[in-house]
Amino acid sequence: MKAVIFDFDGLIMDTETHQYEVLQEIFYEHNSDLPLSVWQKEIGTSTDFCPFQYLESQTKKKLDKVKLQKALDMRFQQRLAKEAARPGVKNYLNEAKSLGLHIGLASSSNYQWVSTHLENLGLFPFFKCIKTSDDVENVKPDPSLYLEAAKCLQVDPKECIVFEDSANGALAAKKAGMPCVIIPNKVTNELEFCKVERRLLTMEECTLNQLIEDIKTKK
């Protein structure tokens, strides 16, 4: 193994749980509910789903979607300002660096979103390559993001280990021919994943070196 490639949302920083919880607050304020099963289709990819159009269809009322979006953005950012990286993330990045592995990131979000939060978390300098929705025509579950990241890191896809939290992300990694380790969060935990090399509760479960050795042994 020559490289590790991380997803961002929900994997490095659990933005996904906070976004869903804020949406649920807004839905509850309108005496409605956003089922997790509906929102999960949006996780790890990009679709044309609009939660506030869905809210209109549920309430049968015309809503000020611009005002609702502003409320969502404000509450979401307030939550993220207090959020740290998920457990073990920084340890894995430090260990990858000490092992001489190239470190990349592949996200279906845009570069400004990803880079801003990486800077706030103090993690931006770890990444040799960052590929986002700005770099490809199709995001996950299409494999393009992971293939572009491997190309940027100048390694063969088979020499990369991907870390993902979503089903769409894991599928993209496997389509790219890369070993994949999933570390689901609160909103992705019940998703149906494709076959992957390992599933962890957190990155604190084992060291990165142990994980690499385990994957090599299974091969």
Which residues participate in catalysis according to the annotation?
7, 9
Q: With residue 116 as reference, give the H or E element that holds it.
A: helix 111-121
Burial (0-12, 13-18, 19+ Cβ within 10 Å), 138: middle
Cα distances (angstroms) measured from residue 86 to each of 57, 117, 171, 201: 35, 13, 22, 11
Among the listed residues 89, 86, 90, 95, the one whose alpha carbon sits nearest the alpha carbon of residue 16: 86
Strand stretches in 113-215, DSSP E: 129-131, 160-164, 180-182, 198-199
Are the C-beta atoms of 73 and 39 separated by less than 8 Å?
A: no
Residue 4 structure tokens? 């590790």
d(CA 67, CA 165): 31
- DSSP string over 1-45: --EEEE--BTTTB-HHHHHHHHHHHHHHHTT----HHHHGGGTTS
